Amino acid sequence: MPELPEVQTTVDGLKSKVLKRTFVDVWSDWNKLVKKPKEFIQFKKELKDKKINKIWRRAKNIIFDLSDNYSLLVHQKMTGHLLMGKWELKDEKWISVKRGPLDDPYNRFLHLIFFFDNGTMMALSDARKFAKVELWKTDELINSVEFKGLGPEPLDKSFTFEKFKEALARKKSGKIKQIIMNPEVIAGIGNIYASEVLWQAKIHPEKNVVKLSEKELKFLYQAIKKVLKLGVKLGGESFSDYRKPDGTKGDFDTERKAYKREGLKCMRCGTKIKRAKVAQRSAFFCPNCQKLK
């Protein structure tokens, strides 16, 4: 699933392409991707002629603030990603006009295409069709239960060490990996970066949050900032489905130290990386560097 670095990479990549552009049409072969309004024909009608005034991220959500006090929300879920390009329909299949990154097999699952006033197109490629697209009145979105329940943004300047400790205090007990992945505690961290952050901080993923020392909390706070910033700088992780808006891969794979490295040597001490289940999700860690004390 695209996490904070991938979503931020998408937002940054779209700003130079669609900001100030106006929607003129939208096509879909899987209307269920659009959750709000429920009827696709209504979604299409309401979106038409809306101008994009701002693009930003909240947790793992991409938000397009539009004219007339509307906002378009896109959550890419497990296998979705937004692409910029030009496609033409041939034999009921959308084919990229120009050969290149958009011909990557992970970019072929086009189920929603937006058309803009300058002839450009933005597509949602989603192999498993789990993505979520919603059109809201902006004030209703900002005040929605979902948005009000989100935790702080870990890369915001306001996310101080004290704010971090306050966020963790919302959960009085629990395994630390599960807690930092909870969007009500901290926004945007998923399975990949949770394993990377905990490896960086030398903290076992199953350690109870109440047993973390002040020193460990400081290391964890610093690791979250460091790993997520690097993830954004490198354009996210693309060992699986995710691709940037231009169709190319992100480069965080070159920096992956723990996630999906089971059986490989720890890059810090040489011990083999292990995998454990934490809340039904895989956690990758070094049993020597990240001891469960």
Catalytically annotated residues: 2-3, 60, 281
What is the Cα–Cα distance from 136 to 68, expressed in whole angstroms?
A: 11
What is the Cα–Cα distance from 58 to 56, expressed in whole angstroms?
A: 7
For residue 77, the surrounding DSSP H or E stretch is: none
Q: Look at residue 103 and give its three-state secondary structure.
A: helix
- Which residues share a beta bridge with 113? 27, 123
Q: Positive or negative CA dihedral for 236, 242, 244, 247?
A: positive
Q: Where are the beta strands (DSSP E) in the chain?
A: 23-28, 34-36, 52-58, 61-66, 70-75, 80-85, 87-90, 93-96, 110-116, 121-126, 132-137, 274-278, 281-285
Which parts of 122-160 fold into alpha helices (H)?
Answer: 138-142, 145-148
Angle between helices 4-18 and 214-233 (to 10 degrees): 30
Residue 188, token pair as written in the block: 């945007």
Q: Please provide the DSSP assignment of 184-230 as one string.
A: TTSSS--HHHHHHHHHHHT--TTSBGGG--HHHHHHHHHHHHHHHHH
Which has the closest alpha carbon to 197: 184, 185, 212, 180? 180
Which parts of 86-133 fold into alpha helices (H)?
Answer: none
- Which residues share a beta bridge with 137? 70
DSSP letter at 276 equals E
